[in-house]
A = this chain, B = another copy of it.
Amino acid sequence: MPRFMKRASETVGLAPGTLVHIGDKKTEQVRLSLIEYGATHFQEKSIETVEESFPSKDEPSVTWVNITGLHDLDVIEKVGKHFNLHPLILEDIVNTGQRPKMEDYEGYLFAVLKMLRYDQEEDQVNAEQVGLVVGPNYLLSFQESPEDVFDPVRERLRKGKGRSRKAGSDYLAYALVDALVDEYFLILEIFGEKIESMEEELVANATRQTLQRIHDMKREMIFFRKQVWPLRELIGALSKGESPLVHESTSIYLRDVHDHTIQIIDTIESFRDMLSGMIDMYLSTISNKMNEIMKVLTIIATIFIPLTFVAGIYGMNFRYMPELEWRWGYFMALGVMLVIAVLLLSFFKKRKWL
């Protein structure tokens, strides 16, 4: 449940802009790392205090400050002051229960995104919040834990491959969002395989566990969709060039990610439709099986009940029962029973109940 609804009780009654860390503490110490690059240079270092990032701010290059760990409000506050961020932004950054969104402040863009990861053990998707502040020549990224999906971006910057170093902070922001969304595809792939294996299970051997798994998957879909849906609008708005911070050349790339989010939502919807169909199939399979059992059992019972009745008749102790005295009475009785059984069986056969 905490995935769907973070505890908000601690923020109630506080002044807007008051920093409260909501979420789990996923790393011991807050760490700041700084990457500074331009078309011709690249520098990467771990910094102690946010003030160390001062000089780079005025150089004609892009500075990417990555803050890992959101629980140390002092650090967050210093970053906010250093980069002159609106208090509401800081509040949103440390409250990990945010819905993905984008705000266009004067001088910088602020976005809340979700880093989704599939947890093999819990068999569920977990979301970590990523806050991005994109200024004209800097980008701040705030993440909850040191594990992230941004390493390929860093690697490309280090190697200076492609447009990466030549483009501005908006392209860097795009690259990070793209890395996040790529991860979504990986999760969809896992889900696709799971659904496929469930479908086979459904045909081969449906148990109550199958239903539970379908049900759980449906829930993951609800969660997944909740995370991706707002992303679509967000990137869509960005790619339409509503912000002066986003260059025309980056817009093309953003449109590409936008298409990806639509594709993800499409696939989630298809999966949901399929899962609904699978639940229907499961229920009909189960009731079919049950009916099959009941049918065979009842048929057996029904055949023997009239026979037992016949046996009961000749078990009566009346003094005058002519059949009892007959020489072939017993065999005749057996014969009658046989005839009844055969008649019932053929009746069942005719009606296709057997």
Which A residues are within 8 Å of any B CB, using their own CB? Answer: 1-2, 4-5, 7-9, 11-18, 86, 88, 92, 97-99, 101, 103, 105, 149, 151-152, 155-156, 161-164, 174-175, 178-179, 182-183, 185-186, 188-189, 191-193, 195-196, 203, 208, 211-212, 215, 218-219, 222-223, 226, 230, 252-253, 255-256, 259, 262-263, 266-267, 270-271, 273-274, 277, 279-284, 286-288, 290-291, 293-302, 304-309, 311-330, 333-334, 344, 351, 353
If over half of A's interface residues share one DSSP class (helix, strand or loop), that class is named, otherwise mixed; here it is: helix
Kindly identify which residue among B2, B270, B320, B333 contacts A318, using a CB–CB cutoff of 8 Å: B333
Residues of B within 8 A of A183 (CB): 12
Beyond A297-B298, A312-B312, A322-B330, 14 additional pairs, beta carbon < 8 A: A1-B193, A11-B182, A13-B149, A13-B182, A86-B252, A97-B263, A99-B266, A212-B281, A215-B277, A297-B302, A315-B315, A316-B333, A320-B327, A321-B330
Complex-state Cα separation, A238 to B344, whole angstroms: 70
Residues of B within 8 A of A14 (CB): 152
The 9 closest A-B pairs by CB, nearest first: A311-B312, A13-B152, A8-B185, A314-B316, A5-B192, A1-B196, A318-B330, A315-B315, A99-B263
Give the Cβ gap from A196 to chain B, nearest Cβ, in Å: 4
Residues of B within 8 A of A15 (CB): 152, 156, 161-162, 164
Complex-state Cα separation, A90 to B218, whole angstroms: 35
Q: Which of A164, A192, A309, A353 has the most CB of B within 10 A?
A: A309
Instruction: Indicate if the CB atoms of A270 and B13 lie closer than 8 Å.
Output: no
Instruction: Indicate if the CB atoms of B320 and A317 lie closer than 8 Å.
Output: no
Give the Cβ gap from A298 to chain B, nearest Cβ, in Å: 5
Give the Cβ gap from A214 to chain B, nearest Cβ, in Å: 10
Kindly identify which residue among B16, B212, B291 contacts A175, using a CB–CB cutoff of 8 Å: B16
Complex-state Cα separation, A296 to B290, whole angstroms: 12
Kindly identify which residue among B2, B16, B271, B322 contacts A178, using a CB–CB cutoff of 8 Å: B16
The verdict on A267 contacting B208 (CB below 8 Å), with A151-B13, A253-B16 known, is no
Give the Cβ gap from A254 to chain B, nearest Cβ, in Å: 10
For this complex, 7 residue pairs linking A to B, each with C-beta atoms less than 8 Å apart, are: A2-B192, A11-B182, A86-B252, A88-B256, A300-B302, A300-B344, A316-B317
The verdict on A215 contacting B5 (CB below 8 Å), with A15-B156, A266-B99 known, is no
Complex-state Cα separation, A94 to B109, whole angstroms: 33
Give the Cβ gap from A150 to chain B, nearest Cβ, in Å: 10
Complex-state Cα separation, A312 to B305, whole angstroms: 11
Instruction: Indicate if the CB atoms of B300 and A305 lie closer than 8 Å.
Output: yes
Give the Cβ gap from A28 to chain B, nearest Cβ, in Å: 27
